[in-house]
Structure 1
Amino acid sequence: MKTAVHFGAGKIGKGFIGDLLHDSGYDITFVDVNQSVVDTLNKDHQYSLFLLDHDYKEKVIDHVKAYFTNTDYNQIIEEIANAEIVTTSVMATNLVKIAPLLADGLKSRLNKGKKKVVVMACENAIMGTDMLKKAMIDSGNITEEQLDEVGVYPNTAVDRMVFEGNHHGKNGIEIDDDYELVIEANKLDDLENKPIKNAEYVKNLGMYLERKIYMVNCGHTVTSYFGYIKGYKTIQDSLKDPELVDEMKKAVMESASALEREYGFKHEDLVSYYDKMIINRYTTPGIADPVTRVAREPIRKIAPNERIMGPAIKCEKYGLDNEYLLKACACALAYKYEKDKQAVTLQKFIAENGVEAAIKKYIGLDKNDRMTKRIVEIYNSLV
């Protein structure tokens, strides 16, 4: 049996990457900072997934064990030295924390003369594996030359819905059928030996990262801001409103038009992607995702390279329609939620300086820009 080491035994680790590793024929060793999670995995050597799209049918992931980062250093090093693949899902901000341990494991592998291992950060971040590799070099535990001698480091694009769930008298993780794992194929040594089944292997990962951010993240976020303005509490309630769904789809397809123009995606493929990754998954029965969770951190989400204004700016560049993306930006500027620090900061700045100044500060658009003027018009109609 092949072996995999995965850093992070949370919902994504077990419900997404662990699921795919299991289906690819690996025994899985989880590495985690939560002792109780580690103890439970070592007690049962398996865990349960519940399939949202199949009436919560149970899927058992077996042949698993786990180690605790604080006490099991030697065992973790040994596992890394002998694994066929090492993956992570610890959140991008935590990659620097696991980097020294992973670097030590890879150096031990190098010293033992083992073959190259595939190392992939499966994080919701752009070029996350590059971030992990840099963090390992910065740790001082291994050099870049040694890293290149012992492994290959493809970047990834990842997306899947996962939820805690209790069904059939068991605790587990709810997962949906639709997911995305895109892997940077040109970083692999052997393209014939793909490390994970049912992943998508591509040469230009950047265009697929943008597709995910500018369509999936865009659609989810646009729904939250449109839903907030209409008074809905959950994404699912928002998507029961035909007018809102129509406007959200128009915003997403504005993004798609920019992706078509810039990267040559086929229109029909992007329509299919919209149906699979947005509509199908967010209307799955039994899911209730709060609007305030999806709308959180509005300053980040209206940034010029992010999910709303990133595609809006591309549309403007190519002379394409961006009306509904600009409406989503205006709704984000009108978003008020006292438990969201960024929302509070944004509203305070607008109250003191005006919405035009906020657009300049947080998006970088001049007050005379056509997009600024249109955003302000829509914003004024909302407040």
Structure 2
Amino acid sequence: MKTAVHFGAGKIGRGFIADLLHDSGYRIVFADVVQPLVDLVNKDHEYSLFLIDHDYEEKIIDNIVAYSTISEPEKVIEEIVNAEVLTTSVMATNLPKVAPLITNGLKARKAARAAGDAKLIVMACENAIMGTDILKKAMIETGIMTEEEMDSVAVFPNTAVDRMVFDGHHHGKDGVEIGDAFELPIEKNKLEDPESEPIKGAEYVDNLEKFLQRKIYMVNCAHAVTSYFGFVKGYKTVQEGLADPELLEEVKATVMESASALEKKYGFTHESLVEYMDSMIIRRFTTPGVSDPITRVAREPIRKISPNDRIMGPAFQCEEYGLDNSHLLRGTACALRYQNPEDAQAVELQDYIAKNGVGAAITKYIGLKPEDRMFGVIADEYSKLV
């Protein structure tokens, strides 16, 4: 049986990537730093997925094993030597932490395998633009292998990822709830065989950037602004917020501002982006029985208002094309108001604003200067929020 090594045994790892790997015929090896997740996988060497759109019907994922990246790195390396695919879902900020072990795995693979053997397909499946490039750069920076050495044993396609996943308990079992709708575009031109389909159900594309931006600037944008709009209104979950007709319309207006820039830049049709919003965003986020806490969705506000991320990224694009971005800028203002004592970035942001003022925060975290039009809009919207 083919082997896939997957770094990250959390909900995305088990509920999305491993689900597709399983359906593609792979034996799955999870590698994780969290011992309870390793133990969970190894308890029965299978786990349950619950299909949200099918009355939580159960699906079993088997042929799995997990190893600790802390106490069993040599076992992870051994699996990398013999694997066909290596994927990650560890959060983009953690890619530099897994880079040394992955690189050591490639080094062992290079020593153990003959020249001309099939190359390992390495893909970072993260909520980040060109996540595999981020991982590869971190691997090069370890100094364990040169880029040329790495390229001799592996290929590094970028991906975009999107699926609704939650912890769930049904049929007397714990598991992961998953929605039907998902996206996994993969850069086909970076595969050793561009016509191969190593993961069934993925979409193999020539221009990944347009799909990445559509996902980040529409789905991730919608999720984030719903949480920040919802926070300032006192809601506890995304679903509570979207049940408010006024907030729902504000979210739709925000997402369509992002869509207008994507339409202009990449030539998406307006109708396709409206359908994308309805199917991949609104329908999913309002699925009956789903409850997504704002504290989870709103976490790490500094990252989410950075210039190239999900809110200000499309706002800058709209500004460049002379398009309306007023709702995006209001979403940013709400993010600047976000408070959560258990979120390190929220604490840092509020401490900085308290000491230096919101204007200084807009410059520091977003890169706008007082003379910039968007600076004034964000500061004005911020002042209106209580």
TM-score (structure 1 length as normaliser): 0.92
> Is 1:144 matched with 2:147?
yes
Q: Is residue 121 of structure 2 the alignment partner of residue 118 of structure 1?
A: yes
Q: Name which of 304, 307, 311 aligns with 1:308.
A: 311
What is the distance in 1 between the residues matched to 2:97 and 2:7? 11
User: What's the Cα RMSD here?
Assistant: 2.2
1:377 corresponding residue in structure 2: 380
Aligned to 1:9, the other structure's residue is in SS state coil
1:296 CA drift (Å): 2.9
Counterpart residue identity of residue 231, structure 2: Y
Matches within 5 A, 1:273-312: 273-312=276-315
1:135 aligns with 2:138: yes
Structure 1's 2 and 237: CA in aligned 2 closer, same or farther, altered over 3 A?
A: same
Partner of 1:109: 109
Give distance in 2, aligned partners of 1:94 and 1:182.
22
Matches within 5 A, 1:1-383: 1-111=1-111, 112-113=113-114, 114-383=117-386
* Alignment gaps of 5+ in structure 1: none
- The 1:60/1:268 distance shift into structure 2, 3 A limit, reads same
Give the secondary-structure state (helix, strand or coil) at the position aligned to 2:161: strand
Aligned-pair CA distance for 1:167: 1.1
The letter of the residue matching 1:54 is H
How big is the shift at 1:71?
4.2
Distance across 1 between alignment mates of 2:31 and 2:306:
34
Structure 1 pair 110/52, CA: closer, same or farther in 2 (3 Å)?
Answer: same
Kept in 1: contact 2:340–2:346 (CA 8 A): yes
**Per-residue deviation at 1:31?**
2.1
Describe the shift of the 1:167–1:258 C-alpha distance in structure 2 as closer, same or farther (beyond 3 A): same
How far is 1:253 from its partner?
0.3
Count of aligned residue pairs for this structure pair: 383
Greater CA deviation, 25-34 or 193-202?
A: 25-34
Change (3 A) 1:364 1:84: closer
CA offsets 1:17-60 (integer angstroms, 9 cap, x no match): 10000111112122223444434434422111111111111000
Report the CA distance between 1:88 and its aligned residue.
1.6
Cα offset for 1:238?
Answer: 0.5
**C-alpha distance in 1, partners of 2:376/2:251?**
21
**Alpha-carbon spacing, 1:26–1:346, altered in 2? closer, same or farther (3 Å):** closer
Q: Structure 2 CA distance, aligned partners of 1:33 and 1:345?
A: 26
2: CA distance, partners of 1:327 / 1:41: 43
Q: In structure 1, how many angstroms separate the alpha carbons of the residues matched to 2:335 and 2:26?
A: 43
Cα separation, partners in 2 of 1:150 and 1:51, compared to 1, 3 Å: same
How far did 1:99 drift? 2.6
CA distance in 2, matches of 1:298, 1:133: 26
Q: Distance in 2 between matches of 1:184 and 1:85?
A: 14
Return closer, same or farther for 1:47/1:311 CA change in 2, 3 Å cut-off: same
How far 1:216 moved relative to its partner?
1.0
Quick one: structure 1 residues 293 and 318, their matched pair in 2 at CA, closer, same or farther if it must change by over 3 Å?
same
* Between 331-340 and 257-266, the greater mean CA deviation after superposition: 331-340
Superposition deviation, residue 340 in structure 1: 3.8
Distance 1:83 1:15 in 2: 21
Amino acid at match of 2:10: G
Q: Secondary structure at the match of 1:157?
A: coil
Contact 2:127 2:216 in 1 (8 A): no
For residue 194 of structure 2, give the secondary structure of its aligned residue in structure 1.
Answer: coil
Contact 2:4–2:84 (CA<8 Å) still a contact in 1?
A: yes
Cα deviation, residue 353, structure 1: 4.4
SS of 2:240's equivalent in the other structure is helix
Residue by residue, what CA displacement relative to the aligned partner does 1:157-190 show, whole Å, maximum 9, x if unpaired?
1122222222111111111112221211111121
Choose 352-361 or 111-120, whichever is displaced more: 352-361
Alpha-carbon distance in 1 for matches of 2:265, 2:24: 34
| Structure 1 stretch displaced more, 98-107 or 265-274 | 98-107
Q: What letter matches 1:332 in structure 2?
A: A
Q: Distance in 1 between matches of 2:39 and 2:364?
A: 48
TM score, norm. by length of structure 2: 0.91
**Structure 2 counterpart SS, 1:156:** coil
Decide which moves more: 266-275 or 135-144: 135-144
* 1:123 shift after superposition: 1.8
The percentage of aligned residue pairs carrying the same residue is 66
For structure 2, the 5+ residue unaligned runs are: none
